[in-house]
Amino acid sequence: MKTNPGRFFEDYTLGEVISHAVPRTLSGGERAAYHALYPARHALHSSDEFARACGLPAAPFDDLVAFHTVFGKTVPDISLNAVANLGYAEGRWLKPVWPGDTIRSESTVIGLKQNSNGRSGVVYVRTRGLNQSGEPVLEYVRWVMVRKRDLDVPAPAPVVPELKDFVPASSISVPEGLDFSNYDFTLAGEPHRWGDYAVGERIDHVDGVTVEEAEHMLATRLWQNTAKVHFDRTQREDGKRLIYGGHVISLARALSFNGLANAQMIVALNAGAHANPCFAGDTVRAWSEVLDKAETGAPGVGALRLRLVAVKDGAAPFTLKDEAGKYSPEVLLDLDYWALMPL
């Protein structure tokens, strides 16, 4: 058979390195498409002039463009037969991605654990995105539940990697040259600086976006993500196309501009849960909570650790979990990340 059936649980070996296919050269075209798809307004990613005033040679891509590009390449090898995308950890952006860069991805299998039912198992991979010079631009750990094709294959010795609860501030990589000493708060859109945010503070980002089928498919294809459930309405019994979780991440991040306009760059992904599926017709909103704060050593550059929660229609303000600790049905995303902000 010439087509790719995707890998099943028994096809993964601990320690193996998977080189993902189809490198991608990004240009101003992807930047424009990102602006059309998401209400993204962070000035550092929107304006070459603003980025230069912050010590960078030009505006890098939104950090989630790097994430989606790297992630999309892993889908045919990692999650084509995934039953669930279980989590993220230890995500670090290591170098900005610029128009003209060519990105490819590779993943190392760092954990395998068959489920007790014998029908599926959890695969842990550490994925790295690399640019045309072979420099890593992003790395993260992700684990997914994958079906077995042949239930008779014996279970591998269970290995669950030890993962950090969150990326320590000391491990954050600040882009070379970044300097917020002369940061223009007016051009950036809000006056609130790092010192104005308090741990525990919560922000309702107010705005909402009602999602259309065409939009999430355009977005998901843009990153060459091939998971069938996003594009083919015959894949699910209810005839609905499941929206790529990353689409919700980008929507929520862009909506968070309103209240976090100066959280210019995402530098670490501590954890993330796609709490409930998102479908076309849902109106997506977002709220954030400040989880931690740190200085970075770079001139004028502080870091905020933020929880970003995406919810849909009907969610009360700051909805998250019910009394039993389960995500409320209106919660779509619970993301924990570090962002850079002027001191």
What residues numbered 238-267 form the site for its own copies, per CB under 8 A?
A: 241, 258-261
* Least Cβ distance, residue 89 to its own copies (angstroms): 27
Question: What are the distances in angstroms from CA 228 to CA 86, 92, 247?
Answer: 18, 28, 15
Using CB under 8 A, which residues numbered 286 to 325 contact its own copies? 313
| Residue number with CB closer to its own copies (83 or 218) | 218
How is residue 101 written in tokens? 């860069």
104 is a contact residue toward its own copies (CB under 8 A):
yes
Using CB under 8 A, which residues numbered 181 to 210 contact its own copies? 186-190, 192, 196, 203-210
Using CB under 8 A, which residues numbered 73 to 102 contact its own copies? 76, 99, 102
Binding residue for its own copies (CB under 8 A) from 11, 24, 94, 291?
24
| Residue number with CB closer to its own copies (116 or 234) | 234
Please name the residues in contact with 119: beta carbons below 8 A apart, sequence gap of 6 or more.
Answer: 147, 148, 151
Please name the residues in contact with 219: beta carbons below 8 A apart, sequence gap of 6 or more.
Answer: 37, 38, 68, 244, 247, 250
219 is a contact residue toward its own copies (CB under 8 A):
yes
30 is a contact residue toward its own copies (CB under 8 A):
yes
Phi-psi sector, 102: left (phi>0), alpha (psi -120 to 50), beta: beta
Question: Which of the 8 DSSP states describes residue 234?
Answer: T
| Residue number with CB closer to its own copies (115 or 258) | 258
163 is a contact residue toward its own copies (CB under 8 A):
no
Selected range binding its own copies among 27-35, 111-119, 165-173, 323-331, rule: CB under 8 A? 27-35
| Residue number with CB closer to its own copies (33 or 163) | 33
Residue 264 to residue 269: CA distance in whole angstroms:
15
* Least Cβ distance, residue 46 to its own copies (angstroms): 5
Residue 274 to residue 122: CA distance in whole angstroms:
16
Question: What are the distances in angstroms from CA 214 to CA 54, 218, 265?
Answer: 36, 6, 28
| Residue number with CB closer to its own copies (143 or 183) | 183
19 is a contact residue toward its own copies (CB under 8 A):
yes
165 is a contact residue toward its own copies (CB under 8 A):
no
Binding residue for its own copies (CB under 8 A) from 234, 297, 317, 325?
234
Q: Do the strands 283-295 and 301-311 form a parallel or antiparallel pair, or are they unpaired? A: antiparallel
Q: Do the strands 136-147 and 82-93 form a parallel or antiparallel pair, or are they unpaired? A: antiparallel
